[in-house]
């Protein structure tokens, strides 16, 4: 029984027979193994195995023509799963399946006035050049099951000859398969709702001779409409070695309710590439770019390359920019001088992947709007002290004082962060800069350290201020024992000097807390 009403099957698998030939010593072919695993994931996501119908004919590619049975199944299937490969493109049979499904789909959408969502799902089993893709698939991103580990190296098919789950190299295979299952599930649920409430439900029909020419000649499919209420992030195209990281970021953002652009393939021709990137950037609230030691391809007409071109367009559009590189990547080891300088831009974070994901969500998510009683949906007053994160910065010898201040803030329900207690000089500096960028307020502990340390921290803060989306809500230097103190002799807007010569206390912090905002008491 199909999950989507009025359909015989939910998913029709179209593939080339050559892509399912098992290797010696392996029981099943690559396509059959993928489909069997996909069926398990779909059953888990939909609740039960008999709750949906997937159709795959293991003899399809040996037929010479579309049989009545296959035509009927194509016409009564909600979605088409294409295993795209050089073998698929070389199969006249597969291309006829594709054209027949799209013609029937178009007729149903005309008769039922249905949405033109993601009814076709593309699994890229192997590398297929953009120019070689069927025109109808030009705007579909697909799910890449191959990697190219370095410029000039041949592509490697994930999960070939068998996706051993114990092999770490196959994690990308299962990540992509999970993403495919999730998106297929979402589409089937959306179709079920649309078909179930449609005043005129679709009926399977045979291909007609008067199908509009645009579809018959290969009009590109339109991706599912994006929810206009959710923020959109432009996740820049990456070099091949970062495909898995980019896919992980995309899934994380989608699960957080954030839309990810681009939603379609970007043309390779330089002018068309720039045009589509610029159009997607207009819809984005944030530009996110993952960088590796590879500069990426630089085609004729785009000497800066695809990687740098996306950044330049985001910068020209005035978009907030958040870039990332691995902590293990030392820019000094990169041979290309232009790319080395690119990796050292101030917008490049060198942090863990999970910290990056959280940061992207924080930067992309709009602030919660107050309700009629002046509270946000989670019960916090906007710009109140209890919705703030305070960075308490201190030199190693004054960390105990910083912990005392943190305890006082915690008693009031105020979040705080302390500097790293250990790590390399690079890690300590990067953590300090990230805290300066993303905290709501700052307290500098002026205890046993020299006044120059305090001056240095304030100067770094001033340098990084332009990278913040909003100014600090409160900024203070807390003068702790021992006394007397050398004057800092540096004034910044809204800087407060707090006297705590007997040690941190509520009274000493009062001016800072007033600047931070009211509590919810």
Is the pLDDT confidence value at 265 over 50?
yes
Q: Where are the domains of the chain?
A: 1-225, 226-366, 385-516
CATH topology for the 1-225 domain: Rossmann fold (3.40.50)
Give the SS3 label for residue 8: coil
Of 115 and 384, more confident: 384
Instruction: Assess whether the region 1-225 and the region 226-366 belong to the same CATH fold.
Output: yes
Is 242 buried (19+), middle (13-18) or exposed (0-12) by CB count in 10 A?
A: buried
Report pLDDT for 384: 67
Q: Are 392 and 443 in contact (CB under 8 A)?
A: yes
Is the model's pTM score more than 0.85? Answer: no
Mean pLDDT of the chain: 81
Task: Kindly state the greatest CA–CA separation across the chain.
Answer: 94
Rounded CA-CA distance 221/224 in Å is: 9
Q: Are 177 and 37 in contact (CB under 8 A)?
A: yes
Q: Average pLDDT for residues 218-222, to the nearest whole number?
A: 45
Strand order in the sheet with 441-446: 415-417, 389-393, 441-446, 474-479, 495-499
For the domain 385-516, what is the CATH superfamily, name and number? Toll/interleukin-1 receptor homology (TIR) domain (3.40.50.10140)
pLDDT by residue (tens digit) across 328-377?
899 999 999 999 999 998 888 887 777 788 888 888 887 655 555 555 55
Report pLDDT for 297: 87
C-alpha distance from residue 486 to each of 393, 443, 452, 462 (Å)? 19, 18, 9, 21
Q: Are 412 and 386 in contact (CB under 8 A)?
A: yes
Report pLDDT for 33: 95
Q: Are 397 and 448 in contact (CB under 8 A)?
A: yes
Is the pLDDT confidence value at 204 over 50?
no
Q: In the structure encoding, which two tokens stand for residue 147, read together?
A: 């990697």
Please, which pLDDT band fits residue 115 given cuts at 50, 70 and 90?
very low
| Omega cis (within 30) before 476 | no
Q: Are 162 and 37 in contact (CB under 8 A)?
A: no
Q: Average pLDDT for residues 97-120, to the nearest whole number?
A: 62
Question: What's the sign of the alpha-carbon dihedral 74, 14, 118, 100?
Answer: negative
Report pLDDT for 215: 40
CATH topology for the 226-366 domain: Rossmann fold (3.40.50)
pLDDT by residue (tens digit) across 401-460?
999 999 999 998 899 999 987 777 777 777 888 888 888 999 999 999 999 999 999 988
Residue percentage of the chain with pLDDT more than 70: 81
Weakest mean pLDDT among 95-109, 221-235, 241-255, 498-512? 221-235
Rounded CA-CA distance 461/7 in Å is: 61
Is the pLDDT confidence value at 42 over 90?
yes
Q: Average pLDDT for residues 283-300, to the nearest whole number?
A: 92
Residue tagged 């007409």 (tokens): 301
Please, which pLDDT band fits residue 317 given cuts at 50, 70 and 90?
very high
């Amino acid at each position: 029984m199909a999950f989507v009403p009025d359909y015989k099957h939910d998913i029709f698998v179209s593939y080339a027979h050559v892509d399912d030939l098992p290797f010696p010593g392996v029981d099943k072919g690559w396509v059959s193994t993928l489909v069997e695993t996909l069926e398990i994931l779909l059953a888990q996501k939909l609740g039960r195995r008999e709750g949906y119908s997937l159709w795959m004919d293991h003899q399809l590619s040996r037929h010479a023509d579309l049989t009545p049975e296959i035509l009927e199944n194509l016409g009564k299937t909600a979605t088409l799963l294409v295993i795209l490969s050089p073998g698929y493109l070389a199969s006249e049979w597969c291309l006829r399946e594709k054209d027949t499904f799209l013609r029937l789909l178009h007729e149903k959408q005309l008769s039922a006035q249905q949405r033109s969502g993601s009814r076709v799902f593309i699994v890229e089993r192997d590398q297929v050049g953009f120019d070689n893709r069927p025109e109808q698939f030009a705007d579909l991103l697909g799910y890449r099951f191959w990697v190219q580990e370095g410029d000039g190296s041949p592509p490697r098919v994930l999960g070939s000859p068998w996706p051993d789950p114990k092999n770490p190299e196959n994690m990308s295979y299962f990540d992509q398969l999970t993403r495919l299952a999730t998106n297929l599930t979402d589409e089937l649920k959306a179709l079920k709702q649309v078909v179930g409430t449609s005043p005129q439900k679709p009926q399977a029909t045979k291909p007609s001779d008067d199908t509009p020419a645009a579809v018959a000649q290969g009009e590109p499919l339109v991706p599912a409409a994006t929810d206009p209420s959710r923020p959109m992030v432009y996740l820049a195209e990456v070099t091949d070695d970062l495909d898995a990281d980019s896919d992980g970021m995309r899934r994380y953002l989608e699960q957080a309710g954030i839309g990810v652009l681009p939603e379609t393939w970007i043309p390779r021709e330089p002018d068309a590439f720039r045009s589509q990137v610029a159009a997607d950037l207009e819809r984005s609230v944030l530009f996110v770019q993952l960088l590796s030691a590879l500069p990426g391809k630089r085609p004729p007409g785009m000497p800066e390359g695809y990687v740098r071109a996306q950044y330049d367009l985001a910068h020209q559009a005035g978009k907030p920019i958040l870039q990332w590189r691995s902590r293990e990547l030392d820019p000094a080891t990169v041979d290309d001088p232009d790319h080395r300088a690119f990796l050292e831009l101030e917008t490049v974070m060198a942090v863990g992947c999970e910290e990056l994901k959280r940061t992207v969500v924080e930067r992309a998510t709009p602030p919660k709007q107050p309700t009629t009683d002046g509270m946000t949906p989670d019960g916090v007053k906007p710009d109140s002290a209890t919705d703030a994160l305070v960075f308490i910065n201190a030199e190693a010898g004054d960390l105990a004082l910083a912990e005392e201040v943190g305890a006082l803030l915690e008693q009031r329900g105020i979040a705080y962060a302390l500097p790293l207690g250990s790590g390399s000089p690079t890690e300590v500096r990067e953590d300090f800069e990230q805290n300066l960028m993303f905290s709501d307020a700052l307290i500098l502990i002026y205890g046993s350290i020299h006044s120059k340390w305090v001056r240095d921290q304030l100067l770094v803060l001033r340098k990084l201020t332009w990278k913040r989306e909003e100014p600090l809500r409160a900024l203070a230097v807390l003068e702790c024992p021992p006394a007397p103190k050398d004057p800092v002799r540096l004034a910044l807007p809204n800087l407060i000097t707090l006297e705590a010569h007997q040690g941190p206390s509520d009274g000493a912090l009062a001016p800072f807390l007033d600047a931070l905002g009211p509590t919810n008491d």
